[in-house]
Amino acid sequence: MQNKNLSRHLGGGVRAAWAVISLLCGAHIARATKRVFQLLMVLLAACASHQSWASDCQPLTTEEVLQAENLRLSSQMKNDLETLSGLLDEQLVYVRNSGVVDSKVSYLESLRRGETVYDLIEHTNHAVRLYGCVAILSGQGRYDVRIADKSLTLMLRYHSLWQKKQAKLSFVSWQATRVPP
């Protein structure tokens, strides 16, 4: 959801909160806070959209989340779209550091067309928090990518959300923010 839509749906109080955070903490913190809030809204929407979610919920372990995340990153670097497609939830919300939001279909299509090519992904400082059948993996990473044939090295902070239901681990959501130089 874009910032304008978020503010329109939640009212003027959100705009006032962002202004106060910006004044007290600085623009970088305000932008990061907005993105975290947007991520939480995405997670709540995902939970609300699955009426059978709780009954299908199965507890996760840190090890299986890290293993699935490593497989996802490896698949991205190899452009192994078949493996990647199997990991992605049908209702994936993939928020890029540019603010562009992809679905499963649009994300896989951008990889298929070569719009984004991941040459190297190195995650560090990650932490896994488990909430029953949902896991939030947070950390920082270096990304050597080619976007529209332009090579970039990006340092990003991210949240990666995984869910386990019906014995299957699915990548539900991604949110990334550039680390200021």
The answer to whether residues 30 and 91 belong to one domain is no
pLDDT tens digits for 73-87?
999 999 999 999 999
CATH number of the domain within which 111 lies: 3.10.450.50
Q: Whole-structure pTM over 0.85, yes or no?
A: no
Q: How far apart are CA 36 and CA 89, in angstroms?
A: 20
Q: Which domain holds residue 34?
A: 3-48
The answer to whether residues 134 and 153 belong to one domain is yes
pLDDT tens digits for 36-80?
666 666 666 555 555 445 568 899 999 999 999 999 999 999 999
- Using CB atoms within 10 A of its CB, is residue 10 exposed (0-12), middle (13-18) or buried (19+)? middle
The answer to whether residues 146 and 159 belong to one domain is yes
Number of domains the chain is built from: 2
Which residue, 48, 68, 84, sits at the end of a domain?
A: 48
